[in-house]
Amino acid sequence: MTKRNANNNNNSRNRANQASASQFFQDDIEYTPRKKKTPPASKPFVLNEIEPKTEAQDNVFEAYDDGKNLCLYGTAGTGKSFLAMYLALDDVLNGTDGFKKVVIVRSSVPTRDPGFLPGTAKDKAKVYEAPYTSICTELFNRGDAYELLKAKNQVEFITTAFIRGITLRDCIVIVDEIQDMNYHELASIITRLGENCRVIFAGDHKQCDLRNEESGFARFLKTLERMKSFARIRFNIADIVRSGIVKEFLIAEEQLSSE
């Protein structure tokens, strides 16, 4: 056999082997295209509808619907901050009366000076935002609700340490834990309100954390009593909605203090 014939035979065998291997893979291996993962459906961002549970809460809804500014004060666990957030967000998200955002104002008590906390001013204020994160989680049934509202500039949080020199417009202002503010702070907040603003104050004089200065709570309530644009609504033990143990504790505490 010549060298050329040998090469031709080798080439023929190689082609036959390749064809056989190709047929083997075609016959024995079925290719199934990889399915693309479907991204999880985003949770709806809808404010739950809230109905009043107690007489005091019903009075809050009625006064707010009448266009009043509010001062909600009294016993802990009665839903003062929760109702304030709900009413304010309901108006902002529906574009009622041109309100564009909710502004939450709190004092930085108990330290009165957030300087020891690490980070920027916003980082330092973060620790005081936890209650509103929790409230928004319940109102929207999603844990990122508060941060989403902030990202959309529909909620803003500031402390009294940074409120001087600003004018608030087209917003609903919630001033929470007012028992931890002196009268000057409370008066300063009122004077920051510009055009198209409503305000809701909330607090409980029994939970005052001020140490070396007097709370402006009592004097402020007397001042609001003279203002026709305000409705003052008091909450008591009968209005507690947080839990049974809170109600039981506060009743026992009240009985002990009266002995």
pLDDT of 23: 53
pLDDT in tens, 249-258: 888 987 887 7
> Vertex 40, ends 38 and 43: CA angle to 5°?
150
Mean pLDDT over each residue of the chain, to the nearest integer: 84
pLDDT at 193 over 90: yes
The rounded percent of the chain whose pLDDT value lies above 70 is 76
Report how far residue 160's alpha carbon sits from residue 105's, in angstroms, rounded to the nearest whole number: 7
Report how far residue 83's alpha carbon sits from residue 54's, in angstroms, rounded to the nearest whole number: 12
Segments making up each domain of the chain, as ranges: 1-30, 56-258
pLDDT of 258: 75
Nearest to 201 by CA among 177, 229, 236: 177
pLDDT of 233: 97
50 within 8 A of 86, measured Cβ to Cβ: yes
DSSP state of 168: B
Report how far residue 213's alpha carbon sits from residue 198's, in angstroms, rounded to the nearest whole number: 28
pLDDT at 180 over 70: yes
182-196 in b/e form (b: 16+ CB < 10 A) is bbebbeebbebbeee
In sequence order, what are the residues at sequence separation of 6 or more whose Cβ sits closer than 8 angstroms to the Cβ of residue 157? 103, 104, 106, 125, 128, 129, 132, 150
pLDDT at 200 over 90: yes
Nearest to 135 by CA among 114, 157, 119: 157
Q: 89: helix, coil or strand?
A: helix
Specify the higher pLDDT residue, 68 or 119.
Answer: 68
pLDDT of 61: 98
pLDDT in tens, 111-168: 445 555 666 666 667 788 999 999 999 999 999 999 999 999 999 999 888 888 899 9
Report how far residue 190's alpha carbon sits from residue 216's, in angstroms, rounded to the nearest whole number: 13
Nearest to 56 by CA among 202, 250, 180: 202
pLDDT at 109 over 90: no
pLDDT of 207: 80
pLDDT of 3: 46
Q: 104: helix, coil or strand?
A: strand
pLDDT at 246 over 90: no
pLDDT at 8 over 80: no
Among 115-119, 216-220, 231-235, the minimum mean pLDDT is found in 115-119
95 within 8 A of 167, measured Cβ to Cβ: no
Q: 152: helix, coil or strand?
A: coil
pLDDT-derived band at 234, boundaries 50, 70, 90: very high
Q: Which residues pair with 171 in a beta bridge?
A: 101, 197
CATH of the domain spanning 56-258, picked from 3.40.50.300, 3.10.310.40, 3.40.50.170, 3.20.20.140: 3.40.50.300
Region 181-203: mean pLDDT is: 94
pLDDT of 89: 98
Q: Which residues pair with 168 in a beta bridge?
A: 193
Report how far residue 259's alpha carbon sits from residue 129's, in angstroms, rounded to the nearest whole number: 38
Region 85-114: mean pLDDT is: 86
